[in-house]
Amino acid sequence: MLLGKTIVVTGASSGIGARTAELAIAQGADVIGVDIREPAAPQANFIAGDLSTPAGIEAVVSRLPQRVDAVLNVAGVSGVIGAEKTLAINFYGLRAFSEAIAPKIREGGSVVNVASIAGYGWRANLARAKAMVGVEGYPDIAAVIAENGVKNEEGYPLSKELLLLWTMKAAHQPLFKSRGIRVNAVSPGPVETQILKEFRSVLGDAKVNSDIDRVGRAGNASDIAPVVLFLASDAARWINGANIANDGGLEASINADVLGF
């Protein structure tokens, strides 16, 4: 169901993004990879670009074809670079890129955001999340951080909280909804990628180990990529504004503890 589709994959040079691009090609899609770093293995259609700044986003979008079928927002950072840059890459830049490319997405197309179990706390932090998602366009992120009292170590989980909330909002945003463009998210648990060590430094070994122990093992890129591509396919044509917890049962385990069942 991806045969002949043109799919943009951000973060295509490594980890989940690289595996997603590889699998999409194997399923017959024409893939345009986007990353700030060149991929280790050459990709036929690759655009080097920085999606954390308005200028970088404009430069990438200008090089994309006039029609694409899906945009898969896989690019992301762990949070070790600080809250401001993390929010620029993981949320505000991602959102600006999605909105800028929306006119090129065909009717009935798809946007898929790779979020995280780390965004689980959006309900508990709803007031702050709503305020930060409610800031339109590409804002002065340092000012937004100061206004909302964001601690530097909160950058990664906060970025994913905002992304989950925006996914639901964007599904009903006229920019996407008026043309039948679906917006969904996938939330992995701990995944064995190059930045898992960075997550340990951000979230702590105890937290990461506890999450892995709950489900028996860490995930890998091949666990996540098929679900991302499913949401981009016609098989998911009735799924919109949803988040799929692709985490080996981690969210279910946390829910059982939080809700006391």
| pLDDT tier for residue 201 given thresholds of 50, 70 and 90 | confident
CATH 3.40.50.10240 corresponds to the domain 6-259: no
Q: Are strands 30-35 and 46-48 parallel, antiparallel or unpaired?
A: parallel
- pLDDT tens-place string over residues 220-234: 999 999 999 999 999
pLDDT digits (tens, 9 = 90+) for 100-153: 999 999 999 999 999 999 999 999 999 999 999 999 999 999 999 999 999 999
First to last CA, the chain: 39
Tell me the whole-structure pTM to 2 decimals. 0.96
CA distances for 18 relative to 57, 111, 148, 215, 250, angstroms? 20, 17, 35, 25, 24
> Which residue ranges make up each domain of the chain?
6-259
| Alpha-carbon gap, residue 34 to 76, rounded angstroms | 12
d(CA 191, CA 193): 6
pLDDT in tens, 164-199: 999 999 999 999 999 999 999 999 999 998 788 888
* pLDDT in the model for residue 8: 98
Lowest mean pLDDT among 44-48, 151-155, 183-187, 199-203: 199-203
- Count the Cβ atoms, other than its own, within 10 Å of residue 259: 7
Active site residue 138: no
Candidate list 92, 120, 138, 156, residue with the active-site label: 156
C-alpha 173/C-alpha 25 separation (Å) is 30
Q: What is the structure's pLDDT at 16?
A: 97
Task: Please tell me the distance from the alpha carbon of residue 111 to that of residue 228, in angstroms, as a whole number.
Answer: 10
- In a 10 Å sphere around its CB, with 0-12 CB exposed, 13-18 middle and 19+ buried, how is residue 40 labelled? exposed
